[in-house]
Amino acid sequence: MLNLIIFGPPGSGKGTHSIKLVEKYKLRHISTGDIFRSEIGNKTTLGMRAKSFMDKGELVPDEVVLDMLFSVMDRYSDAKGFVFDGFPRTIVQAEKFDEMLALRKMPVSLVISLDVNEDELINRLVKRGIESGRTDDTEEVIRQRLNVYNKQTKPLLNYYKKKKLLQSVYGIGRIDEIFEKICSVIENFASV
């Protein structure tokens, strides 16, 4: 089973590359952002609760995220593996996630970090907000999300580095070139 975590700040290309990885390696894509947007779109209680945090650029509480994530994973028990896009986001989430994966005998195979500088991230997200109409892609909210990422999520780099699971890929350039680098890393460091 191939379980990949695509890691990086908002706007680094996690979603774009996750979709391509799903197609290439026949994996299931699990994006907490997509799960939340689906819940928000369906105006569920959980969705409205998540939206209140997301609109302020804050993280959704761990217990809500983990319950939703494993519910989706359990629906795909026959999967060849998963691409986790945008999760985990904190050390506590990563530790709880590792515990829950260990119970299912499904360890993380590899963590790929997409490295993109802040100016590029802001440009990408503002453009995405204009094109898609996303209310959480204003420059003020983007800067808040990047601050939250730097304080709460970036420490995961060391967490996964200590576990010898982290590989970094430069995330600026043509999408196909970046994807080729990601595939090379996967094929060199994970059992495919």
Render pLDDT for 82-103 as a digit per residue (tens, 0 to 9).
Answer: 999 988 988 999 999 999 899 8
The catalytically annotated residue of 20, 89, 124, 181 is 89
Q: CB 39: neighbour CB atoms within 10 A?
A: 19
Is 89 a catalytic site residue? yes
Inter-residue contact 3 to 80 (CB < 8 Å): no
Stated pTM of the model: 0.85
128: amino acid identity, one letter:
R
**pLDDT for residue 71:** 77
d(CA 22, CA 10): 20
Q: Which residue has 């799903």 as its token pair?
A: 22
Catalytic residue, chosen from 37, 128, 143, 154, is 128
Clarify whether 14 is annotated catalytic: yes
The pLDDT of residue 59 is above 80? no
Residue with tokens 């939250």: 148
What domains appear along the chain, each with residue ranges and CATH number?
2-183 (3.40.50.300)
Q: Which of 134, 143, 154, 161 does the annotation list as catalytic?
A: 134
Q: Say whether 124 is catalytic.
A: no
143 is catalytic: no
Which residue would you say has higher pLDDT here, 33 or 177?
Answer: 177
For residue 66, give the 3-state DSSP assignment: helix
CA Rg, the chain, in Å? 16
The whole-angstrom separation of Cα 85 and Cα 87 is 6
Residue predicted with more confidence, 113 or 192: 113
